[in-house]
Amino acid sequence: MTTRHLLTGHVLQYSGNPFVEPWENAVKILENSAVLIQDGTVRAVGNAAFVEGADVVHHDHRGRLIMPGFVDAHAHYPQTAIIASWGKRLIDWLNTYTFPEEMRLSDPAYADQIANRYLDLVLDHGTTSVASFCTIHPASVDAIFSAAATRGMAVVAGKTCMDRNAPQGLRDTAQTAHDDSEALLTRWHRKDRAVYAITPRFSPTSTPEQLEALGALWATHPDALMQTHLSEQVDEVAWMRDLYPGARDYLDTYEAHGLLGARGVYGHAIHLTGREIDRLREVGASLVHCPTSNTFIGSGLFDLMGLARAGQTVGLATDTGGGSSFSMLRTMAAAYEIAQLRGDAVHAAQLLWLATTGSATALHRADEIGALAPGLAADICVLDLASTQAIAQRAREAGDIWDAVFPTIMMGDDRAVAEVWVNGQPLRGGK
């Protein structure tokens, strides 16, 4: 007899996109409701989930929020050990901390150590799926996919490709970038819950020849994702113009080499021109908002509400380790703060959707993860809405359920994560 698990508590439900329709219509919290899971998937939600039987194990989360596991749409797991390192601007930070640390992952044992540490840390914070850049070393890709497989996690990753403006120990060539990426893609893409992403770091660290080679690879394997960085800092954009004097704009450095498409995922995208905004929306590409990184490194203020309201696909990410936290709760709080600086107030319903279905959609995986709906993977995070004294005293004064949830978004951390399920298996909690 297959065991069924019944989780009872407040249940987060989506029926639409809260950035393009009223959030009250698109996102609901079913109070004192339930989720039924079996064989790794969600079988029922709401009244239909309440079942009894000898094969049903009840998990009582009364007063807690049962929601999809967080989906982190842009991260650098090799930077786990250097998170929160003091730095100046992006290029200084890369040269001082990132590149020396990434060279250490040439050692497969060290890559395995960091990959396992990283996934344990994100699970502690309720994140059940990530999209990560690796290093130029194929072993770093094997490490994260292998570590994810042992946990049953849905992960996107790819070998980071760079053939200039990086230390010798982190440079490949146009040919090796293509060949290594193709071999890794063949080995991992769509194996269990793994999805491969072709991964040029960003235009300044790739020659036109390397971008061309990776564009050709993507054309050969259009089912793969392609992830990179776009218009993160003003001085980075100026550097790109020096390196690609014939380009119309930053996006054109990718577009001209076959690296713009619907399955493209572009991190940061802060300093966009009108042409770039229109073109990204036209092709259906995804942008990823990295708010703690953008403030930590002083990159700028992403136009979340303007882009999302205009129909642009947007995900949310920690950008570890440029981002200063592994927590998607802290990331949502930072997204709220940045929007406030731009004159917009983002509702809790929009933030939760962005950190789950929004990110899953950006990664073209919303048919698998990012929501609690029958047939989707049982990747679940249960939030304690009174995890600390400060949060509890605020929640007690709440006028409604949304007023009770918002303090956890703004002040919560791993202490708020009561339980985490991945692929129908409890991996964290039981608090």
Q: Count structural domains, the chain.
A: 2
Instruction: Dihedral sign for Cα 247, 133, 145, 103, please.
Output: positive
Do 284 and 393 lie in one domain? The reply is no
Given 339, 362, 385, the domain boundary residue is: 362
User: Which CB contacts under 8 angstroms, 24+ apart, belong to 86-91?
Assistant: 87/297, 89/233, 89/235, 89/297, 89/298, 90/232, 90/233, 90/235, 90/236, 90/297, 90/299, 90/322, 91/235, 91/236, 91/239
**Over the stretch 276-303, which tens digit does the pLDDT of each residue have?**
999 999 999 999 999 999 998 889 999 9
Query: What gap in Å lies between CA 255 and CA 13, rounded to an integer?
Result: 37
We report the CATH number of the domain holding residue 50 as 2.30.40.10
| Rg, Å, the chain Cα set | 21
- Per the CB < 8 A criterion, the answer to whether 273 and 237 are in contact is no
Given 305, 327, 362, the domain boundary residue is: 362
Do 79 and 43 lie in one domain? The reply is no
pLDDT of residue 88: 64
Label the pairing between strands 41-45 and 27-38: antiparallel
Do 49 and 159 lie in one domain? The reply is no
Burial track 327-341 (b if 16+ CB lie within 10 A, e otherwise): bbbbbbbbbbebbee
**Over the stretch 189-247, which tens digit does the pLDDT of each residue have?**
999 999 999 999 999 999 999 999 999 999 999 999 999 999 999 999 999 999 999 99
Do 64 and 74 lie in one domain? The reply is no
We report the CATH number of the domain holding residue 294 as 3.20.20.140
Do 30 and 178 lie in one domain? The reply is no
Do 44 and 133 lie in one domain? The reply is no
Do 137 and 10 lie in one domain? The reply is no
Do 224 and 234 lie in one domain? The reply is yes
> 334, 358, 357: which is closest to 346 by C-alpha?
334
* Residue ranges in the chain modelled with pLDDT below 50: none
Do 379 and 409 lie in one domain? The reply is yes
Range(s) of the domain holding residue 111? 70-362
pTM for the structure as a whole: 0.97
Q: What does each C-alpha distance from 31 to 5, 28, 35, 66, 398 come to in angstroms?
A: 19, 9, 12, 10, 14
Given 310, 344, 362, the domain boundary residue is: 362
E strands present in 310-399 = 313-316, 380-383
Both structure tokens of 238: 């100026």
Tokens 């786990």, residue?
80
- Per the CB < 8 A criterion, the answer to whether 226 and 197 are in contact is yes
Do 190 and 302 lie in one domain? The reply is yes
Do 105 and 28 lie in one domain? The reply is no
Do 247 and 232 lie in one domain? The reply is yes
